[in-house]
Amino acid sequence: MSSAMKFLVGGVVVAVVIGVLIATSFSGSTSDYLNVAKVKALGPDQTRNSRVAGEIVPDSVEWNTRELLLTFAIRDETGELDISYHGPQPDMLVDAVEAVVIGKYDPAGQVFNAEELLMKCPSKYEEKQ
Amino acid sequence: MLLADIGYGVLLLTLAAALWAGVASIIGVWRRRPELVASARNALFVTAGLSTLSAILLLVLLFSHEFEVRYVYEHVSTYLKPAYVLAAFWAGLEGSQLLWLWMLTIFVAVLVWRRPTWDRELRPYAMVVLALTEAFFAFLLILLTNPFELLASVPVEGISLNPLLQNFWMIVHPPIIFAAYALWTIPAAYALAALMTGRLNAVWLRGTRRWTLAAWASLGIGILIGAWWAYLELGWGGYWGWDPVENSSLIPFLVGTAFVHSAILQERRDMFRAWNVLLAVLTFALTVFATFVTRSGLIQSVHAFAESPIGWYYLGYIVLLLAVTVGLMLARRQELRGKGELGDLLSREFAFLVTNLLLLGSAAAVLLGTLWPTFTESVTKVATSLAAENYNRFMGPLGFLLVLLIGICPVVEWRKISAERLLRNISVQILVAVVTAVLLLVLGVRELWAVLSFAATAFAASTILLQMAQGVAAHMRTVPAVAAAEVATMGASGAAADPPRSSRHPNVFVATARAVGGNRRRYGGQLIHFSILLIVIGITGSQAYQTEVQVALAKGESAQVGDYTLTYQDYIYRQVEEGGNKILNEATLDVYRGGRKLTTVRPEHNLHSNVEGAVSEVAIRTNLKEDLYVVLASMESDGLAAFQVLVNPMVVWLWIGGLVMIAGTLVATWPSRKRGEAS
């Protein structure tokens, strides 16, 4: 085998291995962007996380410092969704700001249990207009 | 508003000068009229002068609080500290675009200041690319992001700078990132010049090497400073979140790193000509892509930057740039064929190829991950987002292999090395790696991936140290010719009853200085590799062993976090500074370990009149082993407070790595005193 051929074959093998590694790491622990209506239609047997974005419903935020329990509601054009989050209250959690929650929906309790809560805050990098 | 009008006028003139520079250099090279090329060069100086003037005007407007100017109104206030007024310059889109143009014009002026030497043939063509890029940025500033735009009425007070951006590192981070972006334009311009002229040997690479390394290092340092800012200011305990904004600067860094490495292959072995041209242009295109990502609204990010159509102009520019590059590459198929022969699979050439594939593979994966929601939405109608874990799953193994290659590459010979010889060259390193792994296991480290990562780091570090030691030892044995000559002259002057110091075998420091001085490129590179290893240690330690406790405490209560005991002593609630703009909530906690008081930390949770919600100021106690990171998440009026406390091991090594990276780059690029030496 000529050295150019060896290089080509070797290079392709390495590239394929890298490609496979990347491809396999793109599954699992991903989350789907869903709107409120679609999340509410989910059954109890969700395997993947959902990711919902919505505006925080004014006056819905309740924070229990002792329990470190945060409950609030978000809404988009398809409806309202109650959120329960266990953990510190994010800095930017205020009415009408957009929040992104990642977690699973509990159809029995009709509440979305967020594992992660991110604030999509326009004032974070750009001052409020 | 006179100054603002002047500013806008200056921008128009900047565009005109840049366009003239572009047109004059095109006609100059096409019609072979050197006087036009000279005129283009002058126009590039004028462009730099004009954009400096507009930058000064914006600064003057910011410092004099001319709120009639929209950008001033939106980013400063009368109570903002002067240092942060400077940060306000690049806090918004308009200012950061002006900063980019300004940096680019300055670097281009520095580049053309020196009369052409090695680049006599290439310079006019590179000037075409540089001038047109400047014109493009100036055009966008005028059309879409005019920082001198006026408001209909004059507000009495400005909105002021977002408190999150009121941090020393936010004064430093954007200029470094934009300097890096601007610097990457230069190797790309010379790559295109090489394509246009067909002079595709290593001359353009060698000539632009310092620019490339400066660009590479600024981008790396800029990314690290951004991570540091996030760590200090955003209060979630991490420094990297795989957010599109972060990814978009990491992607050009990875591709640029691949370019720096494959450039060596062309310089030494005349291989990879086409690769290098493509990578140089691609790195630059990706820096522009970064702005497209953050401004187009195409990509979902928690960082909602103000959307602007500017992103689409950038995309158009990238498409044009790549189309021209690929077109020229096809036209230059013959010249792109290097004379170097490929070596064996066990050769440094192949090790370089694998390095390149790993770097480009990781860049492609990060890019794909960033675009994944957009991509999945167009295919399946449901946008799917990756978690940090997905990124870690490919970055971990790819990074591991790259670290191994840092240890293997220097001991593999060009063309061919036998398996036995290779094994012999790395036997000590393997031993060090195994000892490290066993030690870690004995010490109770159970995360396999962390053990592997530390072992690989030890492996690579021992190669660097061994090679360094060999170089120093060689210099300790020899009395350099210069010293021998000194002895001769001193002997002649009769002053040498005692043998002069320089004729003895040099001590270890002198020998180190001589070894490094004699081969700055090599030792600088090794030092940079060493800095990467320090960063890998920091990442591994903090990822594997982060301890997090979320707890609510009333005054006087304590919490246990790792070995630390934190006792909540007191709280403060008051209006402070900045014209009543800020309400301070501060908690005071005493930190104990093993019954001994270590320190007192004071995390804050403040309200600012110009942002909704609160802004946390984290309290961090750093040492070489770990950071204690305390966030005050909320506080009730009776002092009952929620805390988030993290112990982040080894984070400080990331920042130390950054310092070593700067040192390594300086060593590698420092101008040599010896004239005529190829830099």
Query: Which of the residue ranges A46-55, B24-33, B187-196, B579-588 would you say has the lowest mean pLDDT?
Result: B579-588
**pLDDT greater than 80 at residue B452:** yes
> Which band of pLDDT confidence, cut at 50, 70 and 90, is reported for residue B112?
very high
Which residues span the domain enclosing B46?
1-161
Give the best residue of A126, A128, A129 to mutate against chain B (max B CB count within 10 A). A126
Going along chain A from its start, the domains and CATH numbers come out as 32-120 (2.40.50.140)
Cα B597 vs. chain centroid, distance in angstroms?
39
Number of structural domains chain B divides into: 2
Write down the residue that tokens 């007192």 correspond to: B600
pLDDT at B394: 94
Cross-chain residue pair B612–A92, CB shorter than 8 Å: yes
Q: Classify residue B404 by its DSSP letter.
A: H
**pLDDT greater than 70 at residue A122:** no
**pLDDT greater than 60 at residue B657:** yes
pLDDT at B591: 96
**Nearest-CB residue to A25 (from B74, B390, B616):** B390
**Nearest-CB residue to A33 (from B365, B373, B616):** B373
**pLDDT greater than 90 at residue B292:** no
Query: Which of the residue ranges B16-30, B140-154, B242-256, B305-319 would you say has the lowest mean pLDDT?
Result: B305-319
Strand partners, B635: B641
Residue B102 to chain A, least CA–CA distance (Å)? 22
For the segment A96-105, the average pLDDT, to the nearest whole number, is: 87
Q: Classify residue B197 by its DSSP letter.
A: H
Nearest CA in chain A to B613: A92
**pLDDT greater than 70 at residue B489:** no
Task: Report the distance separating Cα B512 and Cα A109, nearest Å.
Answer: 69
Is B235 exposed, middle or buried, given 0-12, 13-18 or 19+ CB atoms closer than 10 A? buried
Task: Report the distance separating Cα B657 and Cα B660, nearest Å.
Answer: 5
Write down the residue that tokens 């660009």 correspond to: B215
Neighbour-count burial for A39-61, b at 16+ CB within 10 Å, e otherwise: bbebeeeeeebbbbbbbbbeeeb
pLDDT in tens, B497-523: 455 555 567 888 888 888 888 888 889
pLDDT in tens, B425-444: 999 999 999 999 999 999 98
**Parallel, antiparallel or unpaired: strands A69-76 and A98-106:** unpaired
**pLDDT greater than 70 at residue B663:** yes
Nearest Cα residue to B639 out of B569, B556, B575, B555: B555
Do residues A104 and A46 touch, judged by C-beta distance below 8 A? yes
- What's the mean per-residue pLDDT of chain A? 85
Cross-chain residue pair B75–A15, CB shorter than 8 Å: no
Do residues B601 and B581 touch, judged by C-beta distance below 8 A? no
Kindly calculate the radius of gyration of chain A based on its CA atoms and give it in whole angstroms. Answer: 21
Q: Which residues of B touch A16 (CB under 8 A)?
A: none
For the segment B262-290, the average pLDDT, to the nearest whole number, is: 93
Residue B60: inside a domain, yes or no? yes
Q: Is B226 helix (H, G, I), strand (E, B) or coil?
A: helix
pLDDT in tens, A16-72: 999 999 989 988 888 888 899 999 998 888 888 899 988 899 889 999 998 899 999
Residue B144: inside a domain, yes or no? yes
Cross-chain residue pair A30–B390, CB shorter than 8 Å: yes
**pLDDT greater than 60 at residue B486:** no
Residue B342: inside a domain, yes or no? no
Which positions ≥6 away from B360 have C-beta within 8 Å? B254, B255, B258
What SS3 string covers B83-114?
Answer: HHHHHHHCCCHHHHHHHHHHHHHHHHHHHHHC
Residue B507: inside a domain, yes or no? no
Q: Which residues of B touch A120 (CB under 8 A)?
A: 302, 304
Backbone angles phi, psi at B570, to 5 degrees: -160, 170
Do residues B215 and B308 touch, judged by C-beta distance below 8 A? no
Task: Report the distance separating Cα B16 and Cα B22, nearest Å.
Answer: 10
User: Domain boundary residue among B142, B161, B180?
Assistant: B161
pLDDT at B478: 76
Q: Could you give the angle at the alpha carbon of B283 between the alpha carbons of B282 and B287, nearest 5°?
A: 110
- Looking at this predicted complex, what is its ipTM? 0.88
Write down the residue that tokens 């702005």 correspond to: B291
pLDDT at B503: 57
Do residues A100 and A50 touch, judged by C-beta distance below 8 A? no
Residue B124 to chain A, least CA–CA distance (Å)? 36
Residue A85 to chain B, least CA–CA distance (Å)? 13
**pLDDT greater than 50 at residue B642:** yes
Task: Report the distance separating Cα B393 and Cα A28, nearest Å.
Answer: 11
Q: Classify residue B163 by its DSSP letter.
A: G
Q: Alpha-carbon torsion B453, B459, B462, B464, what sign?
A: negative
User: Domain boundary residue among B135, B161, B187?
Assistant: B161
Task: Report the distance separating Cα B466 and Cα B222, nearest Å.
Answer: 31
**Percent of chain B topping pLDDT 70:** 92
Cross-chain residue pair A88–B642, CB shorter than 8 Å: yes
Task: Report the distance separating Cα B440 and Cα B450, nearest Å.
Answer: 9
Task: Report the distance separating Cα B514 and Cα B508, nearest Å.
Answer: 10
Residue B42: inside a domain, yes or no? yes
**Parallel, antiparallel or unpaired: strands A79-86 and A111-120:** parallel
What SS3 string covers B561-605?
Answer: ECCEEEEEEEEEEEEECHHHCEEEEEEEEEEEECCEEEEEECCEE
Question: In angstroms, how far is the first alpha carbon of chain B from the final one?
Answer: 50
- What's the mean per-residue pLDDT of chain B? 89
Task: Report the distance separating Cα A74 and Cα A96, nearest Å.
Answer: 9
**pLDDT greater than 90 at residue B234:** no
CA separation (Å) from A117 to A54, A55, A63, A100, B633? 12, 13, 14, 6, 14
Residue B182: inside a domain, yes or no? no
Token pair recorded at residue B94: 């308009």
Amino acid at B79: Y
**pLDDT greater than 60 at residue B584:** yes
Q: Which residues of A touch B350 (CB under 8 A)?
A: 7, 10
Which positions ≥6 away from A42 have C-beta within 8 Å? A34, A50, A105, A107
pLDDT at B305: 57
Task: Report the distance separating Cα B223 and Cα B230, nearest Å.
Answer: 11
Backbone angles phi, psi at B553, to 5 degrees: -130, 140
**pLDDT greater than 70 at residue A104:** yes
Which positions ≥6 away from B12 have C-beta within 8 Å? B142
Cross-chain residue pair B305–A125, CB shorter than 8 Å: yes
Q: Alpha-carbon torsion B540, B541, B542, B543, what sign?
A: positive
Residue B677: inside a domain, yes or no? no
Do residues B248 and B370 touch, judged by C-beta distance below 8 A? yes
pLDDT at B674: 52
pLDDT at B482: 55
Instruction: Tell me the HSE value of B36 on the side-chain side, using a 13 A CA sphere.
Output: 16
Alpha helices, DSSP H only, in B144-232?
168-197, 203-207, 209-229
Chain A segment 41-100 residues within 8 A of B by beta carbon are 49, 51, 63, 65-68, 87-94, 97-98, 100
**Parallel, antiparallel or unpaired: strands A79-86 and B384-385:** unpaired
**pLDDT greater than 50 at residue B492:** no
**Nearest-CB residue to B361 (from A22, A67, A93):** A22
User: Domain boundary residue among B121, B140, B161?
Assistant: B161
Write down the residue that tokens 């978690």 correspond to: B387
pLDDT at B677: 41
Write down the residue that tokens 């246990």 correspond to: B560
pLDDT at B287: 95
Task: Report the distance separating Cα A129 and Cα B500, nearest Å.
Answer: 72
**Nearest-CB residue to A33 (from B305, B353, B382):** B382
**Nearest-CB residue to B357 (from A11, A32, A91):** A11
For the segment B514-541, the average pLDDT, to the nearest whole number, is: 92
Task: Report the distance separating Cα B373 and Cα A124, nearest Å.
Answer: 22
The number of beta carbons lying within 10 Å of the beta carbon of residue B559 is 17
> Which band of pLDDT confidence, cut at 50, 70 and 90, is reported for residue B479?
low
